Structure 1
Amino acid sequence: MSDSPKISVIMPVRNGEKYIADALKTVFDQAWPVQEILVIDDGSTDRSREIVESLASRFPAIHILDGPRRGPGPARNVGLRIAGGEFIGFLDCDDLWPADKLSLHLARFARTPHMDVVSGFVSYFDRQMTDAPAPDPAAITDELFHVHLGATLYRRTVFDRVGMFDENFLYSEDVDLMLRIREAEIPMTILNAVTLCYRRHAESMTSTYTAEEKRDFNRALMLSLMRRRKNGNAKPLPPFKHLMEE
């Protein structure tokens, strides 16, 4: 890890005019500066692109790219293909980052140079960002098996090892990615701190759990089991609880 590592942030957007300015502001306001913000416009028909272009005129770190209009996974891959950062972060256009998020991640990477993935906890909110203390680790059960994409920071080399998002998924592409990371035994840890503020609202893809979402979620689990069986290791993956810092 260099003394001043470059960070690339990838943000897909489709009709996110209500929230995207606030989301980007939390990237600008990070205690650790972000050198590259890749906003992938995935076919917006509202003012999303206009808002981002206005911000880009003042913040040269912002770059606007055209997405393939096939969902967030393929859109994120557009950013991954050109991202130049040593570390990669993802933020959806309706969520927010706490101001110390990147500093917390990078401090952990500096303390443990072998670590490739550092995640954290998620705070959920409806309208306004409020103070969000980290959950009590004792309340996290062994059944916890997934971490949120936006709460995580990745070394760029992780994607060289496990590949990008599987574009056959409309939903649960982040679950599939994390399962591949776990299967590859890539070193990771979970901070005892909130590193993502997740907005719940009517337009959110995960505000309701549809049959299609259940299908893709189950498919991600099945593909993981099939890969592990093929490699002669069909044992359950270790629970995330054991990756949490003291």
Structure 2
Amino acid sequence: MRLSVIMPVYNREHYVVAALRSLLRQRDDAELDVIVVDDGSTDGTVDIVRAVMREASCIRLFHQAHQGVASARNTGLGQLQPQTQFVSFLDSDDISPSGRFKADLVHFKADPSLDLTYSLMMMVEDLDDEMLEPTPGSRRKIARGLSLAAGTFSRRLIDRIGSFDEAFRQAEDTDYLLRVFESGPRFVMPDTIALYYRRHPGNMTREPGVPLREYMRAIHKSMKRRKADPSLHTVDGIFDLKDSADWRFM
């Protein structure tokens, strides 16, 4: 079962090795295809990715001028090969837990008509980049939050939804997920952790004012779509945002 994971990266030389290693340790669980899209990095990110590629033929690296994360994700979608059956995402500063894809693909094997698994995420203050696990005693919180990396998508669903909206500076993932669930996919929501979301000073969601504004714009667009087309599904109960004030917009 070929699984393509799209990873946009921009100036993440301190984190990208751990992110890639967290995927590579799951090569026995799927026919893994890692699509790294460098969005015009100016640090050592590209050289680091190339070094990892020398040990892992399943990584493909693509370059573009700095155009933002939505554009980088679209570039990744454009590099999907015909044999890809499933698609997931991972940001270059986060970690994919061991066994995550094995747990997800069990659901698709049991139900070939399934479009999506959407699991839990863990926000952590400190990650051990050698063990690829939260450090002992680190602050952590588990939620069903807004993260593309919490989902494993069937290829037919990805093809149906189309591209990311490049008008978004942030929250392009929120907009995409809302469009996914509005389309009425067949999905399951396992109580397994699909993502370690790393909290650090460079998180895009820490930029003052921007994340909340962009998130609300995504919500507003969803409301307008559903008002214009009553056949679209509501998204009530899909995301557990009760703790969002503690982490998402800090």
TM-score (ref. length: structure 1): 0.85
Match of 1:166 in 2: 165
Q: Within 1, Cα distance between the matches of 2:196 and 2:180?
A: 23
Q: Say which of 8, 14, 17 aligns to 1:12.
A: 8
Contact conserved, 1:105 with 1:153, CA < 8 A, in 2? Answer: yes
Task: Note if 1:104 corresponds to 2:103.
Answer: yes
**Cα pair distance change 1:68/1:185, threshold 3 Å:** farther
| Change beyond 3 A, Cα 1:120–1:203 | same
Deviations 1:86-140 (A, max 9, x none): 11110111100111100011001112222111011111222222389xxxxxx97
Contact persistence 2:126–2:135 (CA under 8 A):
no
Give 5+ residue unaligned stretches, structure 1.
Answer: 133-138
CA distance in 2, matches of 1:151, 1:106: 13
1:17 to 1:209, Cα distance in 2 relative to 1, 3 A: closer
In 1, Cα distance between the equivalents of 2:65 and 2:41? 11
Q: CA-to-partner distance for each residue in 1:176-203, whole Å, 9 max, x for gaps?
A: 1111111110111211111101100001
Which one-letter code corresponds to 1:130 in the other structure? P
SS in 1 for 2:195: strand
Select the residue among 224, 243, 246 that pairs with 2:222.
Answer: 224
Structure 1 residues 46 and 131, CA, compared in 2 at 3 Å: closer, same or farther? closer
Change in CA separation of 1:58 and 1:235 when aligned onto 2, cut-off 3 Å = closer
* Residue number in structure 2 paired with 1:186: 185
Match of 1:47 in 2: 44
Q: 1:72 aligns with which of 69, 72, 75?
A: 69
When structure 1 is superposed on structure 2, of 211-220 and 17-26 the one drifting more is 211-220
**2:134 partner letter:** T
Q: Secondary structure at the match of 1:35?
A: strand
TM (norm. structure 2) is: 0.84
Q: Structure 1 residues 80 and 235, CA, compared in 2 at 3 Å: closer, same or farther?
A: closer
How far did residue 70 of structure 1 move? 1.9
Once residues 148 and 239 of structure 2 are traced to their aligned partners in structure 1, the CA distance between those partners, rounded to angstroms, is 17
**Matched residue of 1:77: which SS?**
helix
Pairs within 5 Å for 1:190-205: 190-205=189-204
Query: Paired residue for 2:244?
Result: none
Residues 167 and 11 (structure 1 numbering): CA distance in 2 closer, same or farther, change over 3 Å?
Answer: same
Over aligned residue pairs, what C-alpha RMSD do you find?
2.2
Mapped to 2, the partners of 1:169 and 1:112 lie a distance apart of 34
Identity of aligned residues (%): 30
Tell me the CA shift for residue 73 of structure 1: 1.2
Matched, 1:29 2:25: yes
CA displacement at 1:9 relative to structure 2:
1.0
Taking the aligned partners of 1:235 and 1:42, their CA distance within structure 2 comes to: 34
Cα distance between partner residues in 2 of 1:209 and 1:189 = 33
Letter matched to residue 9 of structure 2: V
Residue 247 of structure 2 corresponds to none
Deviation for aligned residue 1:209: 5.5
* Aligned-pair CA distance for 1:68: 4.1
Structure 2: give runs of 5+ residues left out of the alignment: 128-132, 137-141, 241-250
Q: Size of the alignment, in residue pairs? A: 227
